[in-house]
Amino acid sequence: GEDVEQSLFLSVREGDSSVINCTYTDSSSTYLYWYKQEPGAGLQLLTYIFSNMDMKQDQRLTVLLNKKDKHLSLRIADTQTGDSAIYFCAESRNDMRFGAGTRLTVKP
């Protein structure tokens, strides 16, 4: 089947930038998403990018898509302790497939 892969852990210092990477295999994906999960809560959509775009910026968040390499990244500028969470990459054409999630820890 098609897979979505992410590294499991990332640790950064407060104020630094965080970059979370994701690779996927389904070249026909229509949308690619980043979801955030805080402890004890469900997933919340953070941002998404349409597959014909290379980049999308939304305040502190920048999404980069390299469709040729099937690589998606999420950059969080000026990372804060409140950004500590698990971040899930997901791709969809019909149904949605999720990566295993990257646990971001922000140290003061």
List of residues contacting another protein (CB under 8 A) = 1, 4, 8, 30-31, 33, 40-45, 48, 88, 92-96, 98-101
| Residue whose CB is less far from another protein, 23 or 92 | 92
Report, in Å, the least distance between residue 60 CB and another protein.
20
Helices (H) then strands (E): counts for the chain = 0, 11
| Residue whose CB is less far from another protein, 42 or 82 | 42
| Residue whose CB is less far from another protein, 42 or 108 | 42
Report, in Å, the least distance between residue 93 CB and another protein.
6
Give the Cα separation of 19 and 43 in Å (integer): 19
φ and ψ at residue 71, rounded to 5 degrees: -125, 130
Give the Cα separation of 75 and 42 in Å (integer): 22
